[in-house]
Amino acid sequence: MMNTDADTTSRPAGAAPPGAAHVEATGVVRAFGPVQALGAVDLRLQAGEFVSVVGPSGCGKSTLLEIVGGLQVPDAGTVEVGGEKLAGPRERTAIVFQDSACLPWRTVLDNVAFPLEAARVPRKERRARAQELLGVVGLAEFAGHHPHQLSGGMRQRVAIARALITEPDLILADEPFGALDEQTRILMAFELLAVVERLSASVLFITHSIQEAVLLSDRVLVMSARPGRILDEIVLDLPRPRAQNTLALPEAAAAVDRIWTTLRTEASASMGVPR
């Protein structure tokens, strides 16, 4: 995750240097009719930082992610990415959805190449790049398959390869492993971490899993029940590279406990259970 000087000099123009604020959301408010989804959220994401957001169901986590991704416009507040005010989806922001959003009529290779097709990159070039990325996520031999021929975990790897093909500097992941079994989920999480570290991209990661958030992140933000606000921020000074036994460290266990303590009250509130 740490960038060397050489990394910094090779960073594409417009990208924030490590440590600088890459995403800065201030006073973001969003309502859907009478339902107040987000209530004045401030969010700061440094370049190359991995930040997870946990919170009870319906607290506005995905709404926050879509606002940062430029898919939704906040009712109030501002969002800046890479020092520029956000006015819609950015070229170098990639989103990984909970549903892999694979297009069933396209082969795995064409699914991965889809963002480059959208950017009108010539066919030969985009297919070569997609093939390369399929190698990175271990799906090179499945290039000609269709999504229905893959397992759920493999489809999510396709989604990750698709997100990486534009070499994003910001990855927004909306519970990308939510539908996977525990073993696949852990393996996928480490796989994501490895490719993200190679890219030095910033990551905003929405998850329901406290352990997953602690295992992967530099910081964890805990949101309140609707209307969503940031209740707590946990900075994780855990050694990298992370491994499964990272969770056995006393600092990690303390972080899990602290997040759960905050979250339990909010989750009870969102379910209508007395606190």
Partner 1 sequence: MTALAEASPSLKRRTRTIGGRGGPALVVAFVAVAVWWAGAVVADSAVVPTPDQSLRSLVTELAQPSFRASVFDTLRVLVQSYLSAAVVGAVVGALLGVRPFWSRVALPLAYAVNTVPKVTLFPIFFVFLGLGNLSCGSFAFFSGVLPMFLIAAEAARGVPQAQLKLAASLRVGDLRVLPMVVWPAVMPAVAAGLRLTFGFTFLGLIVAEMFAGSSGLGQQLLRNVALARMEYIAGEIVLIALLALVPFLLLTWLERRISDRFGPRPAPRGSRP
Residues that bind partner 1 (CB under 8 A): 66, 69-71, 88-89, 91, 93-95, 97-99, 101, 103-105, 114-115, 117-119, 142, 146, 148-151, 154
- Which is nearest to 53 in space by CA: 31, 83, 77, 23? 23
Q: Which is nearer to partner 1, 66 or 218 (CB)?
A: 66
Query: Least distance to partner 1 from the beta carbon of 56, Å?
Result: 22
The 3-state DSSP class for residue 224 equals coil
Q: Rank residues 120 and 275 by Cβ distance to partner 1 and give the closer one.
A: 120
- The CB-side HSE value for 108 (13 A sphere, CA atoms) comes to 27
Residue closer to partner 1 by CB (options 113, 234) is 113
Quick one: tokens of 138? 């271990």
* 182 C-beta neighbours (distance < 10 Å), count: 10
The answer to whether 203 touches 50, Cβ cutoff 8 Å, is yes
Smallest separation, CB 106 to partner 1 (Å): 8
Instruction: Pick between residue 202 and residue 224 the one whose CB is nearest to partner 1.
Output: 202
Q: What are phi and psi of 8, to 5 degrees?
A: -65, -40
Strand extents, DSSP E, 33-160: 35-46, 50-54, 76-81, 84-85, 93-96
Instruction: Please identify, using beta-carbon distances, which residue of 18 and 60 lies nearer to partner 1.
Output: 60
**Cβ at position 230, least distance to partner 1 in Å:** 24
Closest separation in Å from C-beta 224 to partner 1: 25
**Residue 69 CB, nearest approach to partner 1 (Å):** 6
Residue with smaller CB distance to partner 1, 94 or 134: 94
* Cβ 102 to partner 1 shortest distance, Å: 9
Would you call 127 helix, strand, or coil by DSSP?
helix
Cα atoms in the Cβ-side hemisphere of radius 13 Å centred on 246: 21
**Nearest distance in Å: CB 238, partner 1:** 31
Q: Which is nearer to partner 1, 50 or 142 (CB)?
A: 142
Nearby residues of 16 by Cβ (< 8 Å), 6 or more positions away? 22, 46, 47, 82, 83, 169
Contact 3, 48 (CB under 8 A): yes
